[in-house]
Structure 1
Amino acid sequence: MFVLSSFVGATTLKIANYYAVDHPVNQALQNKFKPMVEEGTNGKIKVYIFPNNQLGAEQEFIEGVQLGTIEMAMTGNMWENTVPQFRIMQLPYMFVNYEHADAVLNGPIGEKIYKYLEPLNVKVLASFPNGFRVISNNKRPIRTIEDCKDIKLRVFQGETIIKEMKALGFSTVVLPFSEIFTALQQGVVDGQDNPLATAYYAGWYDVQKYVSITNHMYSPGYIVINKGVWDRLSEDEKEIIKKAAQVTSEAILNAVRSQEDQIIKEITNKGVVVTYPDLKPFMERVKPIVNEFIEEYPETKDIIDDIQELSQKYLQ
């Protein structure tokens, strides 16, 4: 069942997300998606943006999109908990850089993966980067893989990330996104792993001493819409929304990629120690996770092979 909200003759699209108001995701929604859709439809569709968990935590607004009580959302990869094929995108060291990830997730390979969401009544309009995940903590700087041992690390409720962090030597604690700052501040956990921009805009580096550029996992985001809502739109409206989603995705990609050096500079100036460990031992330690995944889901082998083959085009 779905609800396509209408007020005063206009169709309403509520977009839920967990990002801070000034994060590139919400800036792109406000400056790109909203005006493109509202102006492109001559005001027939109104867009309302709900940042910072205003419509609930990620699991809650994911369920809202499935039901249609929330028309759209900017989600992370929590879909992997119900759609195992979505774990492909967050397998360790699956993407070599942003260009490679974008070519996969906004191209034909991504479309093959997104079909697995259709039974959940959800359509993916575009993918955007949260960024490559890095590790921050208060226990010690991570300069080698041995430094990971026994650091109590917050992780999200995802099988892949939990396996990966345990393989690297961390002690993992599952907590929702909304509880991370308090958990870091009060020492419930020593650290967390997230893209630079996500942690920076959430203010977590104000309560963290060390950041390690591990780039161990690409963190994708998705612009999703309830399938019932989508099917009710006219072809012209679908085209306008799809184009706006693509432009929004590009804007987020450019912002996230360009801001990383500046973020590292700013947090370093504030006293955060940033380290760059040799990643080869990290890659070797987590390689079995990819092989185990393919054994468990053999239908994904061709997709993973395509991703890895495409990576050659983007290796420097």
Structure 2
Amino acid sequence: MTKQIILILCVFMCFSCSELSETKTIKLAHGLDINHSVHVAMVKMGEDLKEISEGKLALEIYPNQQLGSEREALELLQIGSLDMTKVSAGVLENFAPKLKVFGLPFVFRDKAHAYSVLDGPIGQELLNESEQYWLKGLAYYDAGSRSFYTKDKPIETPEDLKGLKIRVMESITAMNMVSALGGSPTPISWGELYTSLQQGVVDGAENNPPSFYLSRHYEVCKFYTLDEHTVLPDILLVGTPFWNRLSDQEKAWVQEAASRSVPYQRELWAKAETEALEEVKKNGVTIIRPDKSLFSEKVQSIYEQFQTDPEMAKLIQQIQETK
């Protein structure tokens, strides 16, 4: 009997040790191309995570909307079927309303101002905002400035948008912005946009230079207007069902790996923006640099809508006062 007990204890201990030494795999899905700076930064994050955790944690990445759209990925996080994702702040505002502030046109003076807000207490507060919706923010990735691109006519002033169907994300703020500028906002999934542009479902869209280039939308749209109406960050998130299963040590490893990837992604992004504009010009795209003040004046009505919400009005003021 004693030998049997010892044998059982040995088997149990061996099983426990093997369990402890097993690598936990974190599944991360996003909608971008593998050449995108965000994906490359995620690959680095996976390498850092493996190093930091000494092989106890690993990252498995599913790019190109393999597991669904950004909204679908968020819903998978909420129910615990997916661990991590990257979405635009514009999509996340449907789950955490305060994040609408990022979609306000011209809320940031320039990139330095945006970084100052995102890297400071306001940015951290907004990262935490989605946690009550089972989505925990880990970091911001640079997604540059969004501008309009069109098929058949250049956009030089807001008046040129009148009557045009412009693809937007599933974002109320983005829809309100296009409407304020005179266009007709049309929400379409990113994965369906190329075909929609080809078939004339929409006349144009709005996004940053690398996304315009890597999506090959320049093959259809030959006018790119750098009005830079919004500086909308990408947000790296984990689902709280997954997060709550991690030990404090594992949480620290994941956060450190995520934080390490941010400056690397920003460096890649800066290069990608320059290269994207050069490449689309080579492919026959006309780059237009309009008077931004004309666009800024047209969207002031959006700010007025937020004045009835004291909390949002205060947040906008705090952002504008950040140096």
Answer whether TM exceeds 0.5 for this pair. Answer: yes
C-alpha deviation, 1:239, in angstroms? 2.1
Matching residue of 1:153: 166
Letter of the structure 1 residue corresponding to residue 111 of structure 2: Y
Q: Select which of 84, 88, 97 maps to 1:72.
A: 84
Deviation (angstroms), 1:111: 2.0
Superimposed CA distance per residue, residues 209-243 of structure 1 (whole angstroms, 9 cap, x where no aligned partner): 10000100112111101123223323332222212
Matching of residues 1-316 of structure 1 within 5 Å: 9-30=22-43, 32-77=44-89, 78-295=91-308, 297-310=309-322, 313=323
Return the alpha-carbon distance in structure 2 between the equivalents of residues 102 and 70 of structure 1: 29
Q: Flag structure 1 segments of 5+ consecutive residues without an equivalent.
A: 1-5
**Post-superposition, which runs of at least 4 consecutive aligned residues in structure 1 deviate over 6 A?**
none
The one-letter code matched in structure 2 to 1:285 is K
**How many residues were matched structurally?**
304
SS of residue in 1 equivalent to 2:72: helix
Distance 2:305 2:155 in 1: 27
The worse-fitting range, judged by mean Cα deviation, of 51-60 and 76-85 is 76-85
Q: Which has the larger radius of gyration?
A: 2
Instruction: Note if contact 2:210-2:272 (Cα within 8 Å) is conserved in structure 1.
Output: yes
Secondary structure of 2:228's partner?
A: coil
Say what the alpha-carbon RMSD is for the aligned residues: 1.7
- For normalisation by structure 1, the TM-score amounts to 0.92
The 1-side partners of 2:140 and 2:213 are apart by: 21
TM-superposition CA deviations, 1:114-152 (whole Å, max 9, x none):
332122111101111211101111121112222122122
Q: CA deviation at 1:8?
A: 8.1
| TM-superposition CA deviations, 1:238-265 (whole Å, max 9, x none) | 2222121122122222222232222212
Show CA shifts across 1:53-86 (max 9, x none).
Answer: 0111111110011111100001112121232211
Contact kept? 1:102, 1:128, Cα under 8 Å:
no
Higher mean alpha-carbon deviation, 223-232 vs 42-51, is at 223-232
Structure 2 distance, partners of 1:50, 1:121, is 21
Q: Which residue of 1 aligns with 2:9?
A: none
What is the SS of the residue equivalent to 2:142? strand
Q: State the secondary structure of the residue aligned to 2:129.
A: helix
CA contact 1:137–1:190 (8 Å) conserved in 2: yes
Measure, in 2, the Cα distance between the counterparts of 1:57 and 1:144. Answer: 32
Shift of 1:7: 11
**Deviation string, structure 1 residues 258-311 (Cα, Å, up to 9, x no partner):** 32222212211211011011011110110120121232x32122221111011x
TM-score, normalised on structure 2? 0.90
Q: 1:110 Cα deviation (Å)?
A: 1.5
Residues 154-204 of structure 1: CA deviation (Å, up to 9, x unaligned): 111111110110111112211111101111122211111011111211111
SS in structure 1 at match of 2:262: helix
The one-letter amino acid paired with 1:208 is C
Tell me the secondary structure at the aligned position of residue 232 of structure 1: coil
Identity among equivalent positions (%) equals 33
The runs of 5 or more residues in structure 2 that have no matched partner are 1-18
Q: 1:225 to 1:7 in 2, by over 3 A?
A: farther
